Structure 1
Amino acid sequence: MEEEHFDVRAADLGALNSMTKYPSIPTYHTLDPKNGSLTEGETVPFSGPVLGTEKVDGTNARIISLPDGNFLLGSREELLYAKGDLIGNPAQGVVAALREVAEGLAPVDGDVVRVHFLEVYGGKVTAASKQYTGTKAVGFRLFDVAVIADYRAVLGREAAAISAWRDGGGQPYLDEDALTETAALHGFPLTPRLFRVDGADLPRELDKTRAFLAEHLPETRSALDDEAGGQPEGIVLRGPDRAVIAKARFADYDRTLRRRSR
């Protein structure tokens, strides 16, 4: 029996939304949910090469390219626009920033769902926008791409099972080389690449990690104009194959170290 062609109009959009959400990234040092402080020495383990990229303070966005030639735009939590819509949800400026970009993307190659994950920032997106622009400019940076070949099986699961699949690492991401190639092919600016180090050389102490962040990212590399404040949010640590990933934010270390010094 021949498999039916995908049709977004007949798809379960709730399941599709869940399948293509970006999962939460753990903090490099364990974050205590009770007080928001980081725990000394308890880190995400890395081995081999580790790539450091700038973590941009904006809003998570998605371009979801579908097998039938259509695309959807989404924020971290919800779908905002479908190809051909006259009106899109204006939430956080995602549609305004990405609609023309999505319309210019080549369709997916084969029976897969492809998701470009981007950070839309600047403008009035977050309270930190002034760190990237003084003229309310809006920009975006690509930070991951997932290509989901078994999307039919995933979409057929119960809601809780789709969430567990996603949060358990089910989304297949491009490795660093393929991600860089895709960004160049489609003209997407990547989140700035800062360094490569061996996992054994990453600091484990809180104060040394804070110094490590300042050394490698003294100011943002994602400024949109000369009037930007320049204060960065943090660094994302990731293996070249993206099997391990963690985030380290200046604010988390500053808050923890202040409390410890009292």
Structure 2
Amino acid sequence: MKSFVPVCTVVLFIFGFWYLAAIWLNAPWAYDKATRAGVELTTSELVADTWSQEKPKLPAPHQVAVEIWNTTVEKNITSKRSLIYHSWITLSATLLGFVLGTGLGILLAVGIVYNRVMDRSVMPWVITSQTIPILALAPMIIVVLNAVGISGLLPKAMISMYLSFFPVVVGMVKGLRSPEVMQLDQMRTWNASASQTFWRLRLPASMPFLFASLKVGVAASLVGAIVGELPTGAVAGLGARLLAGSYYGQTIQIWSALIMAAALAALLVSLVGIVQRVTLKRMGMV
């Protein structure tokens, strides 16, 4: 209850600011219509107009809520106008890219921790790779993969993998190196092999770091899937909804897709959090 009140306060502030911003940004168009019609707007009429425009610069929250309702509950999930359908297309690429990125990140982290050459050569390149803007890299990845006959889900998943593997690498390297010197010496005293030290000490110690990285990675993977849909002129997916809304000035559609993407990201991070609590509890870490 103590945490509920501050959260509600912040949410109410955000919605209040959003409504005020909608009045400010949409007012010029309302005044322009009134001037051409030769009428003078009252304050209440101005507010009503700015919160109900068909193509506002900034849609009011209730307009976005109505659009989400109409494109989820009111539409069949197989319809091309359904946000659930488009969310599933994006989610498919997100999950595939997340799995690939997690696997690659863990393998690289193990190699970096156990191989000094990889530590000095691969790790700098891993860090450098994230300095390249994904918006510049995504079209190149898609063009190259299309040139070799790979299209559809995999190119978007590759972009998701590119964004998601980095936090996993960094988190796992930190986690695998987290055991103290005394603990490592104890394993040597017991004559434990490198593999036994890995499975019995390093890997369990890395779990909190891994799950923290996975939360960042799954959100980054969703961003990658959406970005991957933009340069292809996709007709399905949340990125496609953003493109279509941008082409036709449908700002309400754009915002509904953005809110849906944010809700999807929150759901994925929450699922990772649930798996984290269950796993750590079974390992006796909670």
TM-score scaled to structure 2, two decimals?
0.21
Greater relative CO (CA pairs within 8 A, separation 6+): 1
TM-score scaled to structure 1, two decimals?
0.23
**More helix by percentage:** 2
Bigger radius of gyration among the two? 2
**More strand by percentage:** 1
